[in-house]
Amino acid sequence: MNATAADYRWLGDHCPELIEAYCLTLVHAVSPEEALRRLRARADGRVTGIPALVEAAAEAWKESGGERHFLGVCEVDGWTLVVEPNGYLGSLDEAAVPLSRDTELVTHFRNVNAVDHFSRYVDGELRLHFEPLFPYARDGADPDGAVALMREVGFDLREDDGDLEATTEAAFALAERMTGVRLTPELLDGAEFRTGSVPVF
């Protein structure tokens, strides 16, 4: 499917508590258990659906005093989906490099201050990185390899007077185009997440 930002308009209504601040990572051909191992995560339990994951993340933050990254992992179409409500671990080299070893990874992050990042790694190498609010400024080993896809999903690459609407939705669409994993309300509501936590670096 040729996803665009319009295909993810449902996020604001369906997952407002998630997309306000999140990190979402997709890792190819690595099991959820292996993803937790590569992150050196402590497995905590299981929850079903995004609302329960968001609640568990809030409780975990209170218990750790913000000293641990909380995450949930599940398998989707041959990829492991890592969801961090109010998190950012997947956006860090320290996590993305080992997670992407011998495979590929796509991750995007946004916090409550609208700081955002989108990255793609292949076998430990950062291939593409940009901020969705500033998609014209890209770096990595292949900064221009996804320019056509970026335009197709809805990013405005003009440096001046660019359209900044729906950049979060465009990030979700770009991740789908790169991985083939389409996220839907039904998938996120029914997903069983293994939860874990990692000490803050």
Contacts (Cβ under 8 Å, ≥6 apart) of 186: none
* pLDDT tens digits, 49-90: 999 999 999 999 999 999 999 999 999 999 999 999 999 999
**Residue 18 is encoded by which pair of tokens?**
């998630």
* Domain assignments of the chain as residue spans, ordered by start: 5-179
* pLDDT tens digits, 148-160: 999 999 999 998 8
* pLDDT tens digits, 118-174: 999 999 999 999 999 999 999 999 999 999 999 999 999 998 876 778 999 999 999
pTM for this entry: 0.96
Q: Which helix (DSSP H) or strand (DSSP E) does residue 195 occupy? A: strand 192-199
Backbone φ, ψ for residue 56 (5° rounding): -65, -35
pLDDT for residue 162: 66
What is the share, in percent, of the chain residues with pLDDT greater than 90?
A: 95
